[in-house]
Amino acid sequence: MSQPFLRGVRVIESSAFIAAPLAGMTLAQYGADVVRIDMIGGGIDYGRLPRMPEGRSLYWTGLNKGKRSVAVDIRRPEGRELVQALVSAPGEQGGVLLTNIGVPWLSHDALARQRADVITCTIEGHADGSTAVDYTVNCATGLPAMTGNGSEQAPVNSVLPAWDIACAYQAAFAISAAVQGRAVTGTGAQMRLALSDVAFATMSHLGYLAEAELLHVDRPALGNFLYGAFGKDFGARDGRRLYVAAISLGQWKALVAACGLQEAVRRIEAATGLNLDDEGDRYAAREAIAAEIVPWCAARSLETIGQRFTEQKVCWGTYRTVRQAVAQDPRLGSANPVFQTVHTAGVGRHLAAGGAVRLMGVPHPPVVPAPMLGQHTDEVLADVLGLGDAAIGRLLALGIVAGPAQDPLMAG
């Protein structure tokens, strides 16, 4: 089950990697019927790390929750025709393709010949159609030179594929908008979304490009300092680390009160001529402010600091490893309806997230685990194309489609 907003919309997804599968899963979480087209035996990312000891990919199962899977031999003309038929099948809520696999037989023009109001969203690396992944796009943005202690000569990459994630949500929103637009105008849409365009557009929205163009500066790497205000990581007496942010005036006053920095603030202001109630001035005085907080934190345990910060409403957080977060953070537990324990074939019981939006007054829908390859082949061919048992059996016998029994990683 899912949120109800896109209920009835059918999206055919032919994809790999991160952006397109995440876009499809997002649409499914809002109620769309998202049907994955999978290669018989699995595509390029079906076994991608991290994997269970038996081979099932936690990456793939994480990005494909809530979808149906049809396993098709797309190397054969009959398989390709079947996928085209699924995309172009009648029904006012069908006729939607999400893909990052640029093949001629899934082009907008090819599909529009079968359904004039088809909606296609193709994710690509660059706008000229050339290949790219998040990491090759990110290196061109300039961000690695300002990440951590990076520089132009020693860039530091982010481990989070931020552009893939942003691209995924752009694609999901674009498809939702196109479906709404078609309901009003009756016309489809051909949409192309380049990963590099998403990255550079986001850089523009956040002021990075204007800063370089108009102020003629490259922002320096700041370690863990927060740009433009005050924020920094600190170590507690017990070896734990935390992060403190004081962006708003209220956050700053809370930090000053919690750490007893009133006299230190007056001293810094007198020495520098700065007004630390101003976030820009706090940024300018960041080293001096941090020097006052370092010994305060070092003299106290994380528990003591946390109690004090929470009492004073300081904006702060604790550093954890992922294992520590899963074991210790209540936001990842049963108290948070976004997270549920599910059973995924080939994985077992594990914590899994549904959609992050909580619809007030409505119970959070159950998280539906990722399918096995071809788990819904018979069901989709019958529901969408109206094929009977004999026709489906023929396709199975010819190896044009397959069911879950041919999933090489199926547990048990």
Q: Catalytic residues, which ones?
A: 164
φ, ψ dihedrals at 60, nearest 5° = -65, -45
Residue 71 contacts residue 374 (beta carbons within 8 Å): yes
Residue 61 to residue 69: CA distance in whole angstroms: 12
Q: Which is nearest to 48 in space by CA: 17, 87, 85, 83?
A: 17
Number of alpha carbons in the 13 Å side-chain half-sphere of residue 269: 10
Residue 237 contacts residue 300 (beta carbons within 8 Å): yes
Collapse the DSSP code of 262 into the 3-class scheme (helix H, G, I; strand E, B; otherwise coil) and give the result. helix
Task: Round to the nearest angstrom and report the end-to-end CA distance of the chain.
Answer: 26
Residue 99 to residue 124: CA distance in whole angstroms: 9
Show the CA angle centred on residue 175, arms to residues 191 and 96, nearest 5°: 85
Is residue 184 packed enough to be buried (19+ CB in 10 Å), middle (13-18) or exposed (0-12)?
exposed
φ, ψ dihedrals at 402, nearest 5° = -145, 155
Residue 106 contacts residue 162 (beta carbons within 8 Å): no
> What contacts 63, CB < 8 A, 6 or more positions away?
18, 21, 22, 25, 370
Q: Which is nearest to 147 in space by CA: 234, 208, 201, 198?
A: 208
Q: Which is nearest to 69 in space by CA: 102, 42, 107?
A: 42
DSSP per position, 194-259:
EHHHHHHHHHHHTTHHHHHHHH--PPPP-BTPPTTSEEEEEE-TTS-EEEEEE-SHHHHHHHHHHH
Residue 303 to residue 245: CA distance in whole angstroms: 18
Residue 61 contacts residue 345 (beta carbons within 8 Å): no
